[in-house]
């Protein structure tokens, strides 16, 4: 028998980040660098301090998202939540904002919110500034404008003393170096938005031959969501992006041979042994659940008796109230008969009446209403069933004396109107006590078959989602062909895989298979996976910060920022290549003005000649 592979969605909620008290070691003898891995999916931050009292791991890890609520009516203003303070992204999906376009930060006001969150939760206590050096990751071949805005934010807003920029995948490569540095290799980095192929020669990035594929974990999650929503249209709303990311992280894998793997899934036995069933949350209470007919009848009888008692009590209260009003009107009429005209006119004014004829009309109507109520009370004592018509509240046509009390009666009766409408006596159909013909739990299950390999396959075959791009294998071959055979042999000896989208089982074997097909016969190559593809970028940045803490190499000081501009970059072993803006030199205006005059002066003699 096939093993039961039913998995429940965890739907984990994010716990808010606490405000951490920094250790004294990060302040003395000099402020320790603050390392921030500024990723488009997740931000990680911590201290780079060799002191063992300071943890050598990121103290903050939160999604790079922010949401600004509009605030409650009449209450406080808009509230901004960042990262783990959101709790869960799905209820606020339409409010979520990210500072990134692909993997490049472009919304600097949102980036400022993320940095505020980092500095506040790490307990940076300096007044009016952040007096710690900052090590910040940036995108490969980051646009100068993006770096300029980031430097302006750090130096002008936070007054940092110095900052260093580096590429996250190169930091991971630096952290996982398996031989003496500098070393060469081919770095394949795949993250939330993009996939990069980065050649590294003698410890430095060869930026001219870097290639980017605009596909990553985000596109895989959207593709998987679209597949499952088409497959299960009845659970459209329950198939959320957060659950798709959970499926990708825990239930997907890369096929070594995609076509061959699809052929395996065509076999029913292979399908039963490898399908993963994801259990959606559901309620055991069925609509129109089968309850015994006797129980239903007993419940109906109890509600009918309750309605009968309620009607009887209401009629008695109405009869007593009408009788009191009638007695008062008869007393005023007796004043008229006794000739006490002053008291009679005074009583008419209190009753808001104009004449004795109007008084007599109200007396007649109230007398009729009292008689009808008495008859209904006598009839209800005889009849067992409740008169459905009488269950509605009765209000007299004209009731100037007790209009306030009548409204209270109407409101008290309106509370029971839904009960009256649901419990009208009717002929009950017999209900058979049978079990439902389908399994409710199985109805709320998502069967993951080929979807487990189709979603992550898009980085190798972007055409699956209609993207006109090359996959990892074609791009890797294109990059290698830019080099000589000797350099190719050096690069393929250290093919390094890093990034959160490289954690699928089977991905390393797939890369080895692709290299085996493209490399010459009997040539050798080695593929290595990062020890921690998600966190090694932060660990590598920390290693670099600790090693270069007291050096000037790689650090951009405030003086450099003011003299050379925000786009300036000091290169180091894990940084981008700095390409300054080269503007064409303009000729002086004096020279431009004299040139036409010289031309005109030399032209006149020739014309005369």
> Which range, of 92-96, 420-424, 479-483, averages the lowest pLDDT?
420-424
pLDDT at position 429 over 80 = no
Average pLDDT value over all residues in the chain: 84
- Of the CA atoms within 13 Å of residue 413, those in its CB half-sphere come to 20
What pLDDT was estimated at residue 178? 72
* Secondary structure (DSSP) of 197-208: EEEEETTEE-GG
Phi, psi of 445 (to 5 degrees): -115, 140
> Which range, of 68-82, 339-353, 512-526, averages the lowest pLDDT?
68-82
200: DSSP letter: E
Q: What is the CA radius of gyration of the chain?
A: 40
pLDDT at position 212 over 60 = yes
User: Of 135-139, 290-294, 304-308, 381-385, which has the strongest mean pLDDT?
Assistant: 135-139
Higher-confidence residue: 458 or 368? Answer: 458
Torsion angle of C-alpha atoms 62, 67, 68, 74, degrees rounded to 10: -100
CA–CA gap between residue 23 and residue 46 (Å, rounded) = 12
The two structure tokens encoding residue 12:
């984990």
CA-closest candidate to residue 574, choices 43, 44, 163, 172: 172
User: Of 278-287, 355-364, 511-520, 590-599, which has the strongest mean pLDDT?
Assistant: 511-520
Contact 311/390 with Cβ under 8 angstroms?
yes
The two structure tokens encoding residue 425:
């006596």
What pLDDT was estimated at residue 423? 43
What pLDDT was estimated at residue 540? 95
pLDDT at position 84 over 80 = yes
CA-closest candidate to residue 242, choices 117, 91, 103, 110: 91
Contact 147/106 with Cβ under 8 angstroms?
no
The two structure tokens encoding residue 549:
């803490």
CA–CA gap between residue 213 and residue 499 (Å, rounded) = 14
- Of the CA atoms within 13 Å of residue 226, those in its CB half-sphere come to 10
Query: 590: buried, middle or exposed (CB in 10 Å: 19+, 13-18, 0-12)?
Result: exposed
pLDDT at position 28 over 90 = no
Segment 247-273 mean pLDDT = 96
What pLDDT was estimated at residue 408? 46
> Which range, of 422-431, 491-500, 525-534, averages the lowest pLDDT?
422-431
Contact 39/30 with Cβ under 8 angstroms?
no
What pLDDT was estimated at residue 177? 85
pLDDT at position 404 over 70 = no
CA–CA gap between residue 340 and residue 327 (Å, rounded) = 18
- Within 8 A by CB and 6+ apart from 134, the residues are 33, 34, 36, 154, 160, 162, 163, 164
The two structure tokens encoding residue 598:
């010289």
Write out pLDDT tens, residues 106-151: 999 999 999 999 999 999 877 789 999 999 999 999 999 999 999 9
Phi, psi of 497 (to 5 degrees): -105, 130
Contact 151/566 with Cβ under 8 angstroms?
yes
pLDDT at position 363 over 90 = no
Write out pLDDT tens, residues 581-606: 776 766 666 555 555 545 445 444 44
CA–CA gap between residue 295 and residue 438 (Å, rounded) = 25
Q: Which helix (H) or strand (E) holds 241?
A: helix 241-251
Higher-confidence residue: 556 or 389? Answer: 556
Phi, psi of 103 (to 5 degrees): -115, 20
CA–CA gap between residue 214 and residue 212 (Å, rounded) = 6
Segments in 432-501 forming alpha helices (H): 440-443, 451-454, 472-480, 485-492
CA-closest candidate to residue 242, choices 101, 96, 41, 88: 88
The two structure tokens encoding residue 11:
């739907």
The two structure tokens encoding residue 72:
């409650």
């Amino acid at each position: 028998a096939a093993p039961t592979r039913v998995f429940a969605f965890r739907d984990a909620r994010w716990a808010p980040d606490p405000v951490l008290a920094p250790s004294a070691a990060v302040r003395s003898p000099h402020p320790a660098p603050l390392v921030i891995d500024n990723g488009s999916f997740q931000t990680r931050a911590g201290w780079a301090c060799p002191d063992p009292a300071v943890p050598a791991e990121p103290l903050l890890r939160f999604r790079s998202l922010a949401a600004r609520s509009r605030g409650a009516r009449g209450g406080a203003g808009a509230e901004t939540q960042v990262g783990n303070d959101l709790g869960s992204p799905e209820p606020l999906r339409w409010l979520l904002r990210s500072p990134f376009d692909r993997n490049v930060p472009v919304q600097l006001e949102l980036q400022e919110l993320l940095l505020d969150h980092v500095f506040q939760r790490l307990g940076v206590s300096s007044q009016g500034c952040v007096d710690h050096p900052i090590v910040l990751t940036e995108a490969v071949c980051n646009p100068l404008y993006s770096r300029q805005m980031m430097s302006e934010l750090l130096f002008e807003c936070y007054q940092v003393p110095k900052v260093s920029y580096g590429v996250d995948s190169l930091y991971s490569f630096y952290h996982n170096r398996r031989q003496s540095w500098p070393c060469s290799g081919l770095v394949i980095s795949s993250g939330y938005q993009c996939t990069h192929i980065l050649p590294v020669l003698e410890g430095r990035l060869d930026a001219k031959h870097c290639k980017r594929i605009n596909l990553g974990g985000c596109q895989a999650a959207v593709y998987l969501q679209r597949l499952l929503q088409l497959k299960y249209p009845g659970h459209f709303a329950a198939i959320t992006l957060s659950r798709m990311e959970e499926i990708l992280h825990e239930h997907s894998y890369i096929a070594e041979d995609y076509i061959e793997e699809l052929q395996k899934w065509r076999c029913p036995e292979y399908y039963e042994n490898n399908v993963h069933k994801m259990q959606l949350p559901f309620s055991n209470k069925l609509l129109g659940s089968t309850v015994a007919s006797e129980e239903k009848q007993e419940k109906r009888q109890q509600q009918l008796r309750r309605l009968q008692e309620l009607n009887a009590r209401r009629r008695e209260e109405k009869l007593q109230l009408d009788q009191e009003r009638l007695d008062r009107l008869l007393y005023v009429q007796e004043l008229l008969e006794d000739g006490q005209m002053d008291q009679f006119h005074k009583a008419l004014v209190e009753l808001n009446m104009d004449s004795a004829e109007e008084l007599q009309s109200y007396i007649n109507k109230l007398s009729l209403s009292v008689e009808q109520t008495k008859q209904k009370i006598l009839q209800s004592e005889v009849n067992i069933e409740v008169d459905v018509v009488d269950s509605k509240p009765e209000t007299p046509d004209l009731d100037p004396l007790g209009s306030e009390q009548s409204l209270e009666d109407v409101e008290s009766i309106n509370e029971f109107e839904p009960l009256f409408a649901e419990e009208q006596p009717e002929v009950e159909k017999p209900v058979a006590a049978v079990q439902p013909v389908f399994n409710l739990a199985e109805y709320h299950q998502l069967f993951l078959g080929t979807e487990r390999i189709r979603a992550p396959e898009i980085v190798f075959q972007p055409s699956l989602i209609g993207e006109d791009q090359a996959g990892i294998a074609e791009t890797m071959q294109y990059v290698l062909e830019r080099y000589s055979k000797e350099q190719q042999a050096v690069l393929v000896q250290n093919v390094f895989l890093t990034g959160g989208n490289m954690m699928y089982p089977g991905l390393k074997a797939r890369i080895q298979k692709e290299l085996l097909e493209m490399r010459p016969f009997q040539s050798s190559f080695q593929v290595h996976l990062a020890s921690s593809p998600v966190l090694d970028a932060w660990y590598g940045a920390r290693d670099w910060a600790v090693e270069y803490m007291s050096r000037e190499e790689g650090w951009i000081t405030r003086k450099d920022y003011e003299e050379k501009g925000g786009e300036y970059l000091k290169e180091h072993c894990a940084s981008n290549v700095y390409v300054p803006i080269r503007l064409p030199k303009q000729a002086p205006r004096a020279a431009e003005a004299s040139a036409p005059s010289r031309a005109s002066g030399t032209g006149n003699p020739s014309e005369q000649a």
